[in-house]
Amino acid sequence: MIDIRTAPYAALLLRLSLGGLFLAHAALKIFVFTPAGTAAFFGTIGLPPALAYVIIAAEIAGAVALMLGLWTRLAAILLIPILLGAIYTVHGPAGFFFNNANGGWEYPAFWIVALLTQALLGDGAFALNAARNARPAGALSR
């Protein structure tokens, strides 16, 4: 049984964790690998180099949306293709375990499950979406 008193806080914790991870991965691409270096890497694996900039922007936008609790379900679903792409291009050929050379696909796959879980749970506590959609007591629904 779901505890309705604590479930919103579980969704909050998951939302903040997922957002923090995407922000960290975007920061890695910006500050360590550099956007130009990330674009060059994308080119070496057969992807259009310009896609790197789109991915970095999507990771930042998705991270911010998740952490603030804005369009949480949509953000979680829209971030999944990034991870599927990472599995298909880099991590899948490396095998299952993430400690393999080039990292295996177990971590991105688990990350996908966590995003799906977030999409099913929704915003959780302290989400700006909830505040934006809040109606005064006694207001008629639209």
What does the pLDDT read at residue 135? Answer: 55
Report H helices in the chain.
7-27, 35-44, 51-68, 72-86, 106-121, 128-133
Per-residue pLDDT at 140 exceeds 60:
no
Q: Which long-range contacts (CB under 8 A, 24 or more apart) does 24-33 make?
A: 25/59, 26/56, 26/59, 26/60, 26/63, 29/55, 29/56, 29/59, 30/56
Nearest to 123 by CA among 83, 59, 74, 78: 74
Per residue in 52-105, pLDDT tens? 999 999 999 999 999 999 999 999 999 999 999 999 999 999 999 988 888 899
Distance CA 71, CA 130 (A): 10
pTM assigned to the model: 0.89
Per residue in 47-66, pLDDT tens? 999 999 999 999 999 999 99
